[in-house]
Structure 1
Amino acid sequence: MSAGGQDAYQNVAVTAGDGLTLNVRVYGTPVRGRLPLLCLAGLSRNSADFDMLARALSAERQVFAPDYRGRGLSGRDPNWQNYALPVELQDLLAATTALGIEKAVFVGTSRGGILTMLMTAARPGLIGGAVLNDIGPVIDGTGLARIKSYLGKLPEPASWDEAVALLKSINSSRFPALSEDDWRRHAAAIWNERGGRLEVAFDPALAKTLEGLTFDAGMPTLWPQFDGLAEVPTMVIRGENSDILSAGTVSAMTERRPDLDVLTVAGQGHAPLLMDEVSIGRIAAFARRCDPR
């Protein structure tokens, strides 16, 4: 089982500053007058999450989807403490430089959205537009506690049917809108099949990054980082059933940014999969508004 035929993209290897090999999926070729899309996944996720979105949009603009270190096809770091936002931000800068990306429309899911906001301080000129997928300046600790409870602890499924059943047992209450095909595509982005076994597509040591987290005092907010996007078109996508991004936070974001493009995805939680026609269509339209006039 796979997320789709590999004829639609190339896996390109780039080198991080410390020598680790990072993988980037590249869909399509540069299109004059169109900014490329740069798709950044969640904490334990990878480039396969964006396969349907990338295939749909690559006819009109090039799409890049990197795997963070320790995820997807990128190299695993012997020091799990390097699975950290400052290191991943430097990796992203190295990858965009190696690939010749001068400006892009960022699509950041969860952790990818945090990296997008952090980029406003590191290299603001790289951001031609920003889509924050189920993430904002205030992060709900309820969702993080849920992720911490199962990250790196899932049993190894014996088959793809078992993998789908496992995902449903964890997420079906928050994702009632998903079809059977959606669940199977979702599973294909989480596990890799090697030697007849299904293995999670991330370094299990990644779970150690959450071990010391407690949520009693609340999470630090990211309002200055969000305000760093003030000069570029910005869109926020929220899953109707999200336990990471609250409706109240989205309202507070729109108060600061009245021009904020807001999409609520019905029947999905954290984070919307960006596989449905409405989400793909809205992102496509948003990206066109970001293109140079």
Structure 2
Amino acid sequence: MADWDDGYWWSADGLRLHYRDYPGEGLPILCIPGLTRNARDFADVADRLKGRHRLILIELRGRGESAYAKDPMSYVPLTYLQDVQLLIDELKLDRFIMFGTSLGGMITALLATSNAGRLAGALINDVGPVIDPAGMARIRSYVGKSISYPTWLHAARGIAETQTSNFPDFGLHDWLAMAKRLCRLTPAGRIVYDYDMAIAEPFRVPGGGEPGVDMWPVLNALKDIPTLLVRGGLSDLLKPDTAKRMLETLPQMEEVVIGRVGHTPTLSEPPCIAGIDRLLARIAAAG
């Protein structure tokens, strides 16, 4: 039996969207995954924190069990923002914490601007107001490419071929675990990536895939709450100078750097686990 309940809500344009709901006593934690990810990306975090907190693992439109968009140009941050805000309002969350990985970190910062006083703390995983062009070019090179594999082992090896630079210390067990986070088994018995390939469409226009607003002023919405910035030491998306400016901008931000990991840390690394525990303790202390 699953440790979570399946929850659903509707977007403004009529899409049925999905989240996993893990029960717990403490403040709810909304978890928003990265561009090509799904709720499974936060399963380890939820397994560790369930009971202590309610965890709501969101699947953005076009990912996992959430419906695919009729208009692929709706796969942009401002639409995701509207979708998640509808869920927050539907669940009547008076106060909550947010964990966001990459794209999810952008959405977290954007949501902070419209939820002042409700957001108690935030984790931003390997993203900032400036996205390094090298990282964006790498994302554009793979997103939306339809690939299938005959077995999970083939999927693990295929992912390793493109991601080894981000996780140089991964072994086969780690790659298999990543494959099962990223992919799903089709009725035909093939292993495919668990997202709508059309999410790549916005990347084909100038500026596509970017938030569409200057994120430095947006970041100020996090100034008065405990925050944790997780950065991969090998990240090609979040560079040290950007992280340094973020820390200067946000006095309550702590940085945890995961050595020999690129974009993005899994949040299961021991320094991440310790950093999350410190973040939650700071949030509790702040009342």
TM tier relative to shorter chain: over 0.9
Q: Structure 1 residues 178, 232: CA separation in 2 closer, same or farther (over 3 Å shift)? A: same
Among candidates 179, 191, 194, match of residue 201 of structure 1: 194
Q: Does 1:269 align with 2:262?
A: yes
Cross-structure match for 1:18: 13
Matched, 1:9 2:4: yes
CA distance in 2, matches of 1:54, 1:210: 31
Superposed CA deviations along residues 25-70 of structure 1, whole A, max 9, x for unmatched, are 11123x1xx2111111111211110000111011311111110011
Aligned partner of 1:118 in structure 2 is 110
1:229 matched to 2:257: no
Aligned alpha-carbon RMSD (Å): 1.8
TM-score scaled by length of structure 2? 0.93
2:61 maps to 1:85: no
Percent identical pairs in the alignment equals 31
Change (3 A) 1:88 1:204: same
Instruction: Report the AA paired with residue 74 of structure 2.
Output: N
Quick one: which of 249, 252, 276 aligns to 1:259?
252
Match of 2:140 among 131, 138, 148: 148
Cα deviation 1:63-102 (Å, max 9, x = unaligned): 1111001111101111111111121111101112222322
Aligned to 1:160: 152
* Alpha-carbon distance between aligned partners in 1 of 2:219 and 2:258, rounded to the nearest angstrom: 21
Q: How far has the Cα of 1:234 moved from its partner? A: 1.3
Q: Return the alpha-carbon distance in structure 2 between the equivalents of residues 266 and 73 of structure 1.
A: 33
Structure number with higher relative contact order (C-alpha < 8 Å, ≥ 6 residues apart): 1
- C-alpha contact (below 8 Å) 1:35/1:290 kept by paired residues: no
Deviation at 1:220, TM superposition (A): 6.7
- Secondary structure at 1:48's aligned position in 2? helix
Is the alpha carbon distance of 1:169 and 1:240 closer, same or farther for their aligned partners in structure 2, counting shifts above 3 Å?
A: same
Once the two structures are superposed, residues 137-158 of structure 1 have per-residue CA deviations (whole angstroms, 9 ceiling, x without a partner) of 1111110110100112252111
Matches within 5 A, 1:38-117: 38-117=30-109
Contact 2:256 2:271 in 1 (8 A): no
SS in 2 for 1:60: strand
Structure 2 SS opposite 1:271: coil
- The alpha-carbon deviation at position 265 of structure 1 amounts to 0.9
Which consecutive residues of structure 2, in runs of 5 or more, have no partner in the other structure? none
